[in-house]
C-alpha cells in the first residue's frame, strides 16, 4: 500500500494524548495549537522518569548521573536526525525568542557600518526584533513587505531589495497569522547567490511536519518544541561551518566548543530528556500506519509528515470554506489549502463585532481559542487591524477531529 492510500487514524492519534481524557479538558475542542500543543503520554513519561530517577547533575560516573547524561545526548541526537541535521548543529534553549537573540548577538560580527539586514513584516516578533537591534551596530534594516491584497511575501519583491551590502535575511517559513508556507528553499537559493545568511523561523511550520534543514539549505532554522508536542523549549539549527566561526556567547572555558557557544547556561535537563518522548510518539505513529521497518528515521518522518498534512487539509478546508462564505468576516491568507501551501492556522476578523466578542462566544461554547495580535503586530498593523483587539485565530493540528470542526462551524453560524 502506498503512502497516498494511507489515512491518518485519528482515533489512534487522540488515544496518545492524555488531555483528551482529562476531566478539565476532555469536553473542549482545542483550537489554540499555534500557541502551544498538547503533549503525548510518551513525553509525560520521560519527564516523570527523569525527575523520579535521574534528577542529578549529569555526566558523572555514578549510574543516576550517567543515565541522565546519556538520555540528554540521545534526545539531542534523535531530534537532529528528525530534521536531517548533525548532532553538533542543534541547540536546545528556553525559547525561540531567546535562541534568536543570542544568535543575533553572535552574528553581529558580520555586520559593518552600512551593511543591510532584511526582515519581513509578516513574521512573529521573535524573528524581527533581534535583527532590527543590529541597527545599534551600524546595520541598515530593510523591510520585505507582503502584498496587501494577497497577504503573501513575493520573491520578486525580495530580489529588488537585495544589494551587495545585504548580509542577513530573516524570514518566516510559515506565518502565524497569514498561514501561508513560504518557499524557503527558493529564498535560500536566491540569498546564497548573493552571499547572504538566511535565518528561517519554522515555529508555525514544524507542528505540521518537521523540516529537512539540509534540503532547504537554510543557514539557521528555529522552532518551538512546546508547539511540536513537547515541553516549553525551542530548537535552533545552525550550519556547522558557520557555528564554528561564531564568537562565544557562553562561559569563557567553553570557547571554541560549539554549539555550546550559542547556548548560555545550557538546556533544561529534564525537559530535554522528555524530547525522547516526541520521537517515540512519531515512531508509534509510523509503526501503527506502516509496515516497512527498514526505512531510516528521516524517511519515516517524511511518511508521517505526508499523512499528517493530508489529514490537516481535510479538516481545515471546511473552516476556510465557511469563513470565505461569510460576507461579514474577513479571512487572512489563502482561501484553501492545496498540497501543503498553507498551514491550518486560520486568522479572521469581523466587520461588525470585535474579535474579543467572537472569541468570548466561542470560549463560552467550549471552543478553546483567543483573540490577539499573537506577537505578529507588524503584520496586523500593515493590514490596518486594531492591535489590541487583534484577530480570532483558529489553529489546528493533526489531533483535531472532524467533530471539533463541525462543532466550531455550528457555533460560528450562530454568531
Where exactly are the structural domains of the chain?
Answer: 3-38+298-414, 47-277
- Tell me the pLDDT tens digit for each residue of 119-153: 999 999 999 999 999 999 999 999 999 999 999 99
Instruction: Report the pLDDT averaged over residues 294-315.
Output: 97
Provide CB contacts within 8 A for 150, sequence distance 6+.
none
- The Cα 69–Cα 76 span in angstroms is 11
**Among residues 228, 211, 234, 221, which one has the least CA distance to residue 92?**
234
Note the pLDDT of residue 66.
Answer: 98
In 234-245, which positions are buried (b, 16+ CB within 10 angstroms) versus exposed (e)? bbbbbbeebbee
Note the pLDDT of residue 4.
Answer: 58
**Do 3-38+298-414 and 47-277 come out as alike in CATH topology?**
no
Domain 3-38+298-414 has CATH 3.90.1150.10: yes
* Whether residue 1 has pLDDT greater than 60: no
- The Cα 355–Cα 331 span in angstroms is 12
- Tell me the pLDDT tens digit for each residue of 151-186: 999 999 999 999 999 999 999 999 999 999 999 999
Note the pLDDT of residue 5.
Answer: 83
Domain 47-277 has CATH 3.40.640.10: yes
pTM: 0.96
Question: Residue 3: which pLDDT band, with cuts at 50, 70 and 90?
Answer: very low
Cβ burial of 61 (10 Å; 0-12, 13-18, 19+) is exposed
- Tell me the pLDDT tens digit for each residue of 106-120: 999 999 999 999 999
Instruction: Report the pLDDT averaged over residues 176-202.
Output: 98
Q: Enumerate the β-bridge partners of residue 92.
A: 235
| Cell numbers placing 238 | 545552525
Instruction: Report the pLDDT averaged over residues 249-266.
Output: 93
Amino acid at each position: 500500500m502506498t503512502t497516498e492510500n494511507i489515512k491518518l487514524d485519528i482515533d489512534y492519534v487522540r488515544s496518545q494524548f492524555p488531555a483528551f481524557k482529562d476531566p478539565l479538558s476532555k469536553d473542549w475542542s482545542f483550537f489554540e495549537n499555534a500557541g502551544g500543543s498538547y503533549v503525548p503520554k510518551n513525553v509525560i513519561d520521560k519527564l516523570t522518569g527523569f525527575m523520579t530517577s535521574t534528577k542529578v547533575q549529569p555526566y558523572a560516573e555514578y549510574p543516576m548521573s550517567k543515565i541522565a547524561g546519556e538520555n540528554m545526548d540521545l534526545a539531542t541526537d534523535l531530534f537532529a536526525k528528525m530534521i536531517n541535521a548533525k548532532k553538533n548543529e542543534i541547540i536546545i534553549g528556553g525559547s525561540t525568542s531567546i535562541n534568536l537573540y543570542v544568535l543575533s548577538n553572535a552574528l553581529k560580527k558580520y555586520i559593518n557600518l552600512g551593511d543591510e539586514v532584511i526582515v519581513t513584516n509578516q513574521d512573529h516578533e521573535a524573528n524581527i526584533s533581534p535583527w532590527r537591534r543590529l541597527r545599534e551596530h551600524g546595520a541598515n534594516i530593510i523591510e520585505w513587505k507582503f502584498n496587501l491584497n494577497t497577504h503573501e511575501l513575493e520573491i520578486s519583491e525580495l530580489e529588488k531589495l537585495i544589494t551587495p551590502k545585504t548580509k542577513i535575511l530573516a524570514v518566516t517559513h510559515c506565518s502565524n497569522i497569514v498561514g501561508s508556507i513560504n518557499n524557503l528553499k527558493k529564498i535560500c537559493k536566491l540569498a546564497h547567490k548573493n552571499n547572504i545568511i538566511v535565518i528561517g523561523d519554522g515555529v508555525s511550520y514544524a507542528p505540521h511536519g518537521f523540516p529537512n534543514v539540509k534540503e532547504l539549505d537554510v543557514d539557521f532554522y528555529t522552532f518551538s518544541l512546546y508547539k511540536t508536542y513537547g515541553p516549553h523549549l525551542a530548537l535552533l539549527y545552525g550550519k556547522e561551518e558557520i557555528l564554528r566561526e561564531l564568537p562565544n556567547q557562553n562561559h569563557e572555558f567553553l570557547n571554541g566548543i560549539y554549539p555550546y557557544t550559542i547556548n548560555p547556561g545550557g538546556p533544561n535537563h529534564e525537559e530535554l530528556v522528555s524530547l525522547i518522548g516526541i520521537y517515540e510518539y512519531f515512531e508509534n505513529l509510523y509503526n501503527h500506519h506502516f509496515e516497512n521497518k527498514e526505512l531510516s528515521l528521516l524517511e519515516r518522518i517524511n511518511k508521517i509528515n505526508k499523512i499528517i498534512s493530508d489529514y490537516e487539509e481535510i479538516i481545515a478546508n471546511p473552516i476556510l470554506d465557511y469563513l470565505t462564505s461569510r460576507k461579514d468576516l474577513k479571512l487572512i491568507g489563502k482561501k484553501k489549502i492545496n498540497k501543503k501551501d498553507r498551514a491550518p492556522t486560520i486568522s479572521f476578523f469581523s466587520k461588525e463585532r470585535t474579535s474579543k466578542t467572537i472569541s468570548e462566544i466561542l470560549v463560552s461554547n467550549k471552543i478553546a481559542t483567543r483573540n490577539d495580535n499573537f506577537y505578529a503586530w507588524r503584520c496586523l498593523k500593515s493590514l490596518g487591524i486594531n492591535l489590541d483587539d487583534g484577530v480570532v485565530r483558529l489553529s489546528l493540528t493533526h489531533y483535531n477531529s472532524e467533530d471539533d470542526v463541525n462543532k466550531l462551524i455550528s457555533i460560528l453560524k450562530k454568531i
